[in-house]
Amino acid sequence: MSFWTRFLNNKEKSIKPWNGLINGYRDLLDIDNKTKVITLCEGNTPLVPAPAIAQACNVAGLSVYLKFEGANPSGSFKDRGMTMAVTKAIAKGLRTMICASTGNTSASAAAYTACARANGFETACCVVLVPDGYIALGKLAQALVYGSQVIQVAGNFDQALQIVRQLSEKHPIALVNSVNPDRIEGQKTAAFEVCDQLGRAPDILTIPVGNAGNISAYWAGFKQYYELGIINAKPKMCGFQAAGAAPIVKGEVVENPETIATAIRIGNPASWQMAAEAVQESYGLVEAVTDEEIIQAYKLIHAGQGICCEPASAASVAGLIKMAQQGRLQRESTVVCVLTGNGLKDPQTALDVSGFSPVKAEASMEAVAKALNLG
């Protein structure tokens, strides 16, 4: 059989149809067949081998992979939880979504609400509360252009979350923060994908921790695959908070969290308890990385690996490198670092840290050659 005959045979095409994670993992999720699915075909994100990061760790036989969640429709892992949360809210008859956000949850909620409008729920609308002045510009732009109502609160994320919790108790509004269990249910599919892509579970998963929903969701996913016998070991869950916003590491609420990684600028994580259990049950850890370590990792992920992530995401790689430096990685182990969001959301940080300024030149070959010192 010729190559082309095989290629054109549907069974051997390497691109398989993908209709979003609810359709992709329906049997493993809490959803029935009658529910109308609100999806932007999220999930199925790349798991990219990262030799430059493995090299930076300098541990014999270490394999490092990056789970690139920035490839989701709104540019972050939040879409996994949001397809589920908005689908379920709409099915319950709710039409107003609300969330507090450091930027990605709001972008995602706004996108999926627009998707609901497109799919027959014309009255669906979304309200987002964000800390004034502390979200990346791209995320603010997304919430606005997807058509949500944006309220900039003169306070931090933790205060905004308290407000939306109170509002959703008093009014028929769907709270789509990760305190909504549907969010965790959708987000656990990232753990399924990691195992499906690797053909096994990694030995270690490193992940940034903010409100602590995602680390809890991954652990739920790994446990489910283990109980089903799809994997025969579970990874150690290693979570990393920014040093200026590290309540779980310190064991106390941080009243005024501060970090360059605004996505994880959270001082009182809602899923604190669940995250602590994930870490304990998996023999993992939660530790802090400094803004400087985050920026070093952010540069390595971009210039060294060719992958575009936001500063908060780089905490997972910064944490891995720290573990390596402390001699806490076993040889021959397999690590997955979760890159939670797309770097394009925060071009200001990219410009600030890149250390290069563009050179201006006249539009002629000679001028450009001169600028390049080509003689």
Contact residues: ligand AN7, CB under 6 A? 76, 101-105, 178, 208-214, 263-264, 310, 312-313, 340-341
**Between 62 and 314, CB nearer to ligand AN7:** 314
The three-state secondary structure class of 192 is: helix
115 close to 67: Cβ distance less than 8 angstroms: no
Shortest Å, Cβ 320 to ligand AN7: 15
**Between 87 and 214, CB nearer to ligand AN7:** 214
Shortest Å, Cβ 45 to ligand AN7: 13
The three-state secondary structure class of 20 is: coil
Shortest Å, Cβ 3 to ligand AN7: 41
Shortest Å, Cβ 79 to ligand AN7: 11
Shortest Å, Cβ 353 to ligand AN7: 16
**Between 185 and 310, CB nearer to ligand AN7:** 310
How far apart CA 305 and CA 343 sit, in angstroms, is 13
Shortest Å, Cβ 102 to ligand AN7: 4
Q: Where are the alpha helices (DSSP H) in 235-335?
A: 247-250, 272-281, 291-299, 311-325
**Between 59 and 315, CB nearer to ligand AN7:** 315
**Between 94 and 312, CB nearer to ligand AN7:** 312
Shortest Å, Cβ 101 to ligand AN7: 3
78 close to 56: Cβ distance less than 8 angstroms: no
**Between 214 and 268, CB nearer to ligand AN7:** 214
Q: How many CA atoms lie within 13 A of 363 on its CB side?
A: 0
Strand order in the sheet with 334-339: 47-49, 63-68, 334-339, 204-208, 236-242, 285-289
E strands, the chain, are 47-49, 63-68, 96-100, 125-131, 149-153, 174-175, 204-208, 236-242, 285-289, 334-339
List phi, psi (to 5°) of 121. Answer: -115, 70
**Between 59 and 238, CB nearer to ligand AN7:** 238
